[in-house]
Structure 1
C-alpha cells in the first residue's frame, strides 16, 4: 500500500492499570504522555486514572496535550476515570476496544497484564487479516515483551502464521524512541476499517 502524507494525529496506548507496577514503568508512561503532547499527537487510552494508563494520561494533560479516555460504565469507579480529560463512556469492553481503534491512527504498547495482552493480540490479528495498516510500537524495557515475541515466532516456525507477520510492529527499548518510531512507519491508508467493525 502507498503511504499518505497526512499527519499522524492520534496514538492509542495499551498498558497496565496496576498501581503496583514497577516505578520505572510508571515513569516511562509519564514520559510517553508528555512526548505525545509535545508532538501534538492525541493520546487515546482506556480512560482510567490508575496504573500506567493513568500516569500517561495525567502527564499528557499536564503538558497541554489532547487526551481521550474511553471506558465502559462498570469500570468508571473501579479504574477511577480522570475527570479532567475528555471521556466517552460505553456499555462494554467490546465497544471500548472498537472505539479506541476507530479513534486512533497508531498504537503504542507499554508493559501490561492480561488485559493488555488481549488488546494486543486482537489488534495484531486484525493486522494479520489486512484490516488495517496502522503503526504499532512496543516499548520493550528489560525485554519485557520478548516472551510474547518468541511465542509469535513459534507460531511462524510451526507454519501456523505467515513469516511476514513478524514485521507487523516495531519494538523499541527507550521511551524517546517511541514517537520517532511511530512517525517513521508513516500513516498508511486502511480502507478496510468498516470490515473490522463487522468482524470485531
Structure 2
C-alpha cells in the first residue's frame, strides 16, 4: 500500500513516561524520512505538538486540522506547512480522514481513543479502505488490544477485522506493517443498507 499522508491521533498532553514523547518524535521523523506527510489535529501542545515539530524539523510536510474553538484558544501550531480550521470536531475528523491514507494512534486520552475506534469502525463498515495502527509505546495500547481480542472471543468482532488492526511498538514498525495490510471482509454489513 502506497502512503502519501498518514493521520496521527495522539494526546494533547505529553504523558508521564518520557518514552511517549520519544516515540512521538521518532514517528514524526519516520514519516518525513519516508516522504509521507503528516495529518494531525493541529495542536501545538503535548504529543501532538511534538510529532508535528519532528516532521517539520526533518523537512517533512504537515497538515493540521483544528476546530475554530481550539484555534481561538491559541492552541493551534502555526509553524507547519498548512493549517485548516473547521467549524466543529465532527468536521475536523471527517477532514482528517479525507486527507489521509492510513491512521496511527500514539498514546493519548479519551479523544485519542474515540478517534482511533471510529477509524476502526469505518474500516469495518467499508466507509473507508484505510489501515489503522496502534503504536503500543510502553504497553499503552495493550489493554485495548486485549479488549479487541475479548470481543473476538465473545463473538462481537470478526477475526479478520481484529487482525486488520495493526499493533506495533513503534510508528516505524506500524508503517512497515501497512505495506502488506489487507482490508477485512465486510461480512454482514454487505447484506443490508447501512446508514451512518
TM-score (norm 2): 0.86
Residues 51, 199 of structure 1: alpha-carbon distance in 2 compared, 3 angstrom cutoff: farther
* Contact 1:17/1:53 (<8 A) preserved: yes
What does residue 54 of structure 2 align with? 59
* Contact 2:119/2:132 (<8 A) preserved: no
Select between 172-181 and 51-60 the one with higher mean Cα deviation.
172-181
Residues 184, 163 of structure 1: alpha-carbon distance in 2 compared, 3 angstrom cutoff: closer
2:83 counterpart of 1:87: yes
Select between 144-153 and 74-83 the one with higher mean Cα deviation.
74-83
1:14 alignment partner, one of 1, 9, 18? 9
What does residue 31 of structure 1 align with? 26
Cα drift, residue 44 of structure 1: 0.2
SS of the counterpart of 2:179?
Answer: helix
Between the aligned partners of 1:167 and 1:186, the Cα distance in structure 2 is: 9
What does residue 128 of structure 1 align with? 124
Superposed CA RMSD: 2.2
* Contact 1:46/1:70 (<8 A) preserved: yes
* Contact 1:21/1:51 (<8 A) preserved: no
What does residue 152 of structure 1 align with? 148
Between the aligned partners of 1:25 and 1:88, the Cα distance in structure 2 is: 26
SS of the counterpart of 2:39?
Answer: strand
TM-score (norm 1): 0.85
Residues 176, 121 of structure 1: alpha-carbon distance in 2 compared, 3 angstrom cutoff: closer
Between the aligned partners of 1:74 and 1:171, the Cα distance in structure 2 is: 33
What does residue 73 of structure 1 align with? 68
Residues 199, 10 of structure 1: alpha-carbon distance in 2 compared, 3 angstrom cutoff: farther
4+ residue segments displaced more than 6 Å: none
Residues 131, 96 of structure 1: alpha-carbon distance in 2 compared, 3 angstrom cutoff: same
Cα drift, residue 24 of structure 1: 1.4
Cα drift, residue 153 of structure 1: 2.1
Unpaired runs of at least 5, structure 1: 1-5, 188-197
Q: Could you list the per-position Cα deviations for residues 5-50 of structure 1 after superposition, in whole angstroms to 9, with x for gaps in the alignment?
A: x731010001111134422101111111111111110100000011
Q: Could you list the per-position Cα deviations for residues 141-163 of structure 1 after superposition, in whole angstroms to 9, with x for gaps in the alignment?
A: 22211111122222222222222
